[in-house]
Amino acid sequence: MSKKIIVVCDHIHQDGLDILEADNKIELINAADEPKDKLVSEIIPLADVAITRSSTDVDDAFLSSAKKITAVVRAGVGVDNVDIAGSSKQGIVIMNVPTANTIAAVELTMAHMLSCVRTFPYAHNNLKIDRVWRRQDWYGTELKDKKLGVIGFGNIGSRVGIRAKAFEMDVLAYDPYIDSSKATDVDVKYTKNFEDILVCDIITIHTPKNSETIGMIGKEEISKMKDGVILINCARGGLYSEEALLEGLTNGKIAMAGIDVFDKEPAIDHPFLDLDNVTVTPHLGANTKESQKNIAIQAAENAIAAAKGIAYPNALNLPIKENELPDFVRPYLELIQKIGHLSAQVTKSAVKSIKVMSSGPVADHLASMSTFATVGVLTESVGDQINYVNAEFVAEERGIKVSTEVKPNNSGFTNKVCLKLTTTEGTISIAGTVFDDNVQRIIEIDDYTLDVEPKGTMIFFRNTDTPGVIGDVGRIIAENGLNISDFRLGRDTKQQALAVVRVDGKVSKKILDELSSLDAFINVSHASI
């Protein structure tokens, strides 16, 4: 049996190379120093598996040369330079290494926190560069007894919380997608009210970057914070509104900020660099020797497993070739994943169970639909750590029961899929179908019959079925500067109605508060697909 060829496209730690070289079933081609044009045109066609980093784009040119490649391992977390959709069409599995830099990111967060409270970088520069000895200029404050708000209590946020407790801080966690016991079990307080976080002394954010979290700390949120608050972001650029952050840092509302990530990188001309109350680093979250070693080892091990066809750890896609599934099935897979993502955003609470039901010929593919539904549900809370390969295991690890059921085909539709999501706050059931030309539609939400395209930003407003509500909802949305692109209404047998309003733009808390103030209000939520 011939050896499988693994091409290393960019520099990785030597320990990873040693693992590849030591396997007698693997032939290693280390092309890290080769010109990119030669790599793509001459070396990639030889590869069965490739290991890349940020210096090599998995783009059209790469994929057109990847005649033999079955998998690409991105040695790191980010996959911004990888065409995942194009890779999937070509049957190439894309994998990343999402947890190898966990401790590095945690410790960098603590470093920024300490730098902010003691202004270490400025005191250092004053002595070492300016040669000035002025101890009286550098009075800081202590972490002890300060209240730390942690937004996102996952793999990194939870470890930050544990370390902050060691500094005798009062730690408060906000993460609607976890069970509260995950925080309380490590002696951290838990809140479901985001407003509680805003009154903390120090706030750090550790969430995935998605439609819900981009700009989640903006001008309105900062205005509610304590004067002299300290903000930390070592997660993703854009989670804090940089414009609002700059204003708060300039007018003194924010005492200090520790920033490792920016909207656009490299950020060598950023206005933050001109301020003397910001500690900045050039996206160093993964930049430790241990982290780079761990990334290389995991990338090498994952590449070997993929080359041998054993497993595809941390796969971010599911390679679907034309002959593997009937054409009519794939839009249903996409639809059930959208429904899962939609359900998680609407409920915004810890998931207990996911049940996928189907009727018609598409029910023969319930196992695949269950996987796609689980990925859709958990993407909101887990981010890029959830994928089609590990979805079942992540759900099991979180104590989430996933089940399927074939239903009688008496709906009047050729095929129908439905997801019932049960959380700590209740249940929601959403059903959909696909019409000719792959037109996806949501046709039921709980007991309401509708016809909604799962697309864009949607407001879900449930109310008592009384006159004038549609006008009030439309007026509030219009007064807040949003254009309504679609308005659908469903009614049940209990004199209640559900409006699903698609809008162009971001739904603010102000809009939700105003809708909640209407006399007919029962509940309101929003989601983006």
* Length of the chain as a residue count: 529
Domain regions of the chain by residue span: 4-100+290-307, 102-280, 325-446, 457-529
Q: Do domains 102-280 and 325-446 have the same CATH topology?
A: no
Q: What is the mean pLDDT of residues 71-81?
A: 87
3 state SS of 7: strand
Helix, strand, coil percentages (3-state) for the chain, rounded to 5, are: 35, 25, 40
pLDDT for the residue 152: 95
CA 183 – CA 153 distance, rounded (Å)? 8
**pLDDT tens for each residue of 402-439:** 999 999 988 889 999 999 999 999 999 999 999 987 89
Q: Spell out the CATH class of 457-529.
A: alpha beta
What is the CATH code of the structural domain delimited by 4-100+290-307? 3.40.50.720
Classified by CATH at the fold level, domain 325-446 comes out as: 60s Ribosomal Protein L30; Chain: A; (3.30.1330)
What is the CATH code of the structural domain delimited by 102-280? 3.40.50.720
Provide CB contacts within 8 A for 323, sequence distance 6+. Answer: none
Please give the model's pTM, rounded to 2 decimal places: 0.77
List, by residue number, the catalytic residues. Answer: 236, 265, 283
**pLDDT tens for each residue of 331-378:** 999 899 999 999 999 999 999 999 999 999 999 999 889 999 998 999
Look at residue 285 and tell me whether its pLDDT is greater than 80: yes
331 backbone φψ class: left, alpha, beta (φ>0; ψ -120 to 50): alpha
DSSP 344-359: HHHH-S-EEEEEEEEE
**pLDDT tens for each residue of 192-201:** 999 999 999 9
Beta-carbon count within 10 A of 353 CB = 15
CA 197 – CA 171 distance, rounded (Å)? 10
